[in-house]
Structure 1
C-alpha cells in the first residue's frame, strides 16, 4: 500500500479581519441529542496559484464540502448566491457580503504545485463576529495524496467549530463481498472513511470475517477459514503480508481484537463445545484463559485505557453484555433491556459502548453508558449489526443487510444521536467494517 508523505509546514496569517462584534458569541456548534439546524457555510473555492493546480483545487474543494455537509451539521451555501468574489488568497474578506447570504462560516483556500508537491493554504472565518477562527495553516503532500490533504483541512474546520476531535482523515477495513448470496465470496479491503481509494488486502480464495485495526492502524486482525477451521490471522496493512497466530490443535479461534498497546490479542477459543475468552501475547505466543464459564463468551473489546474488557455471553440464558478486568475474574452484567445483545465495542472516548440488539424480530444498533445506563437505539431494520466507532467517538459505522434471496449487505453510518443515517459507498456488497484511528 502506498505510504503517504504528509507534513504540516507552517502556521500563518494569524489574526483577525474586522472588529469583533461586542455582542456576538464566537461561532460554535453545540451538539445535543435534539434536532440541529445545519450551520450554513461557504467555501470561496481553493484558488489555484499555479496553472497546473486548477484540477486539484476543484477536487479538493469538492471533498472538503462533502466532508462537512456529510456530517449533517453543516449546509453549504450555493456559489450562485455569493456576492463577493475572492480571487486571491490574501483578498480581504468583506464580511457584510457574506452576512447578507447568511453564511456563518467562510473557508478561503489556495492550492499550488511546488517542488513536486501539492501545497494547500486555508483560513476559516467567523462571518458574524467578523474574525478569523484560529490560525491559517499550510499543508503539503505528494500529488497522489491530495485527498488526505482535503480530509485534513476538513478535520481542522470541523474541530474548530464543533470543539470535537477530528475523524475525516481515517480509513475503514471491511469485508468486500461478491457472488450469489448462497455462495458469497469475501475478501478484505481497506478504504478512506468516505468510500474512496479502495485497496484489496486479500483474495477471495477463503472466507474472511471480522477485521479489526490495531490502535496505530498498521496491522489488522481477522478470522480466516483457510485451514478449514476458523483461525486468527494478523496482516500488515502496508505490505498486505499476513501470518496465522499460534493455536491449540483441535480448537477454533475467532473474534480477535488488539489491546490498546498493540502487544496482546483478546479472542474467543472454542474447545470441546465450550467457548471462552483468551489473551495472547503477540511476541511470545503465551496465552492466558480469562473466562471459565460453561457458556459462550465472545466479541471482546478493550476499554481505551486497556484496564477492562466488554464482551457478550449467554451465561444468563440469553446473549447479554458483561464487563470484567483485563486479567479476567468476575464479570458484571450491564445489559438488562428486552431482547438479546451482542458485538459490544468500547467508544474511543471511554464513556459509551455500542452494541447490536435483537428484539421482536428487528435488529438495532444502540449505545449505552459503561454501567448499562442511558441505553438508546439508533437504528432499526431487518438486520443491522457489528458497530464500529469513528476515531472521535461521534459516528458509528455498521453492516445493514436487506432481506430475501437477493438481499445484500452494505455499510451504513449514523451519528450517536441517531441522526444522519446514510449509506457508505462501496464497490459492491460489504460487511464487517472496522474504523482505523486517525492517520499519522
Structure 2
C-alpha cells in the first residue's frame, strides 16, 4: 500500500497561519529499555471526521495500538474541551495543554470518486504549538484496519524516533478441541489479534511456523506423513512444498535473514539431533553441528553471520553461539535452569529465550555474549518468544495453571507491559512478520 507525505496537509498548516516547516526529528518519548519505568506519554486522539462510523473506528485502532505499546497513554475523549471540526486548521493548543495532552492526533476519512478510501491525519506537538507530521493514504475500504495500523506506526516513529510494529502479522498455531484430541491449525492474524485466517485444515498437527524475512512465505513442521517434516507454504496462494526428505525427524525450522536458506534440526536414530542448513535454491544441505547431544532451536543473527542454538552437550540444555558455517561453537549461558528457544533480536543486540527453573517457566533476554540476563515474565508454563520487527517487543505463549490451554501474550523489554493477545481459541507458537510492504 503506497503512502506519502501530502502537500495538502502542509497547505492546511499554512492557511492556519502556521509555519509549514515540520519540527526537527527529536523524540518526545525517550526509550530506555534498562530503565524499567518508562512514563507513558499522554496523547489525545480525536475521532477522524467522516460521513459514517469509519473515522471513529480508525481512530480507535490507532489509540489501541499506541496504548498497547506501553509508551503512550491515550486520554479519555470525555476530557476533550475542543471539538475538532476542521482537521486542516490549527487546534486550540491551550485547550489541549489544559488536559495535559502532550501530543494531539486529528484526521479525516472520506471516499474518493473512484470508491477508494482516503485517510489523512496530522500529529501536533501541543506545547510547542506546531505540527509534527501529516500524511494521507489511499486504499480500498477493506484495508481500513491496515490503514489505521500504518498511521499508528507513523505516529510511533515520529514520537519515539524508532520504527513502529503495528502494520505486521503473526502466524501461530490455533488450538481447539479437548487436550487429548487437540486440533492444531496454522493461522495468521494482525498483530492485535484481528483478521484471523486459517492456513491449514487441522487434519495433521502443525507446529513452529516461522516467517520468511523477504517473502510472504512461512516454514513450519507438520506430522502429515506420520513423521515430523519441514514444509514451505506460500501464504497468499496456499502452495506448499516439502523441504527435503531426510531420514529421521526434522524440526525447529527457521529462515536465514536473506530468505535463501532454512536452518533446522535433524533427529537421528541414536536419539541425538544436529543442526543443518539447506540452500533453498540448490537444495544442498550443510551440517553445522556434530555432537553426541541434542542440538536444536537454531536462529540466525540479523546479519546472517552467526547462529544461536541450544544444546545439552554440557549435561543440560544451555545456549550456544556459532558461526553460520558451524565454526567457533561457544556456550554463552551459565545460569541455573534449562534454556530453550533462543531467538536473535532484529536489532542484533539481544537474544530472547525460554528458561525453566524451580518449577517455573520464564521469558528473558540476554546480550549476545550471554551477559546481562534479564527475566521479563515468569509463570506456570510459557515459552516460544518471537520478536516484533523493531526489536522492542516480544510475543510468546503461556498457559496458566488450570486454564486448559495456552494463550498469546506480548511484553516489552522493560518487562512491565505484558498484555494478552485476543484469539478465539487457544493459541501457541507465534512468529512475528516483518513490516508489511
Q: TM-score range by the shorter chain?
A: over 0.9
Change (3 A) 1:364 1:7: same
Q: Structure 2-normalised TM-score?
A: 0.94
| Structure-to-structure mapping, 1:231-242, within 5 angstroms | 231-242=229-240
1:245 aligns with 2:258: no
Q: CA contact under 8 A between 1:26 and 1:126: conserved in structure 2?
A: no
Distance 1:437 1:27 in 2: 23
Using the TM superposition, give the Cα deviation of residue 146 of structure 1 relative to its aligned residue in structure 2, in angstroms: 0.4
Using the TM superposition, give the Cα deviation of residue 105 of structure 1 relative to its aligned residue in structure 2, in angstroms: 0.3
Q: CA contact under 8 A between 2:37 and 2:414: conserved in structure 1?
A: no
1:340 aligns with 2:335: no
Counterpart in the other structure of 1:439: 436
Counterpart in the other structure of 1:7: 2
1:256 aligns with 2:241: no
| Structure-to-structure mapping, 1:23-38, within 5 angstroms | 28-32=28-32, 33-38=35-40
Residues 264-292 of structure 1 show CA distances to partners (whole Å, capped at 9, x for unaligned) of 11100111222100011112211111111
Choose from 265, 270, 279 the match for 2:267: 270
Counterpart in the other structure of 1:408: 405
Residues 92-138 of structure 1 show CA distances to partners (whole Å, capped at 9, x for unaligned) of 2111111111110000110111122111111100111111113x111
Could you tell me which runs of 5 or more consecutive residues in structure 1 were left unpaired when the two chains were aligned: 1-5
Distance 1:181 1:253 in 2: 24
Q: CA contact under 8 A between 2:189 and 2:197: conserved in structure 1?
A: yes
Using the TM superposition, give the Cα deviation of residue 144 of structure 1 relative to its aligned residue in structure 2, in angstroms: 0.5
| Structure-to-structure mapping, 1:119-138, within 5 angstroms | 119-134=118-133, 136-138=134-136
| Structure-to-structure mapping, 1:90-169, within 5 angstroms | 90-114=88-112, 115-134=114-133, 136-169=134-167
Moved over 4 A (4+): 15-20
Using the TM superposition, give the Cα deviation of residue 55 of structure 1 relative to its aligned residue in structure 2, in angstroms: 2.2
Could you tell me which runs of 5 or more consecutive residues in structure 2 were left unpaired when the two chains were aligned: none
1:57 aligns with 2:55: yes
Using the TM superposition, give the Cα deviation of residue 190 of structure 1 relative to its aligned residue in structure 2, in angstroms: 0.2
Q: Structure 1-normalised TM-score?
A: 0.94
Deviates further, 324-333 or 387-396? 324-333
Partner SS, residue 378 of structure 2: coil
Q: CA contact under 8 A between 2:353 and 2:384: conserved in structure 1?
A: yes
Deviates further, 193-202 or 326-335? 326-335
Distance 1:34 1:396 in 2: 15
Q: CA contact under 8 A between 2:383 and 2:398: conserved in structure 1?
A: yes
| Structure-to-structure mapping, 1:12-411, within 5 angstroms | 12=7, 13-14=9-10, 28-32=28-32, 33-48=35-50, 51=51, 54-114=52-112, 115-134=114-133, 136-248=134-246, 250-273=247-270, 274-404=272-402, 407-411=404-408
Distance 2:188 2:36 in 1: 33
Distance 1:294 1:330 in 2: 17
Using the TM superposition, give the Cα deviation of residue 187 of structure 1 relative to its aligned residue in structure 2, in angstroms: 0.5
Q: CA contact under 8 A between 1:276 and 1:293: conserved in structure 2?
A: yes
Distance 1:44 1:277 in 2: 52
Alignment root-mean-square deviation, CA: 1.7
Counterpart in the other structure of 1:3: none
Distance 2:26 2:319 in 1: 42
Distance 1:117 1:184 in 2: 43
Using the TM superposition, give the Cα deviation of residue 19 of structure 1 relative to its aligned residue in structure 2, in angstroms: 8.3
Deviates further, 66-75 or 390-399? 66-75
Change (3 A) 1:313 1:43: same
Q: CA contact under 8 A between 1:19 and 1:130: conserved in structure 2?
A: no
How many residue pairs get aligned? The number is 425
Distance 2:59 2:89 in 1: 18
Deviates further, 215-224 or 304-313? 215-224
Residues 28-55 of structure 1 show CA distances to partners (whole Å, capped at 9, x for unaligned) of 111222312221111222111xx3xx22
Q: CA contact under 8 A between 1:18 and 1:130: conserved in structure 2?
A: no
Q: CA contact under 8 A between 1:89 and 1:109: conserved in structure 2?
A: yes
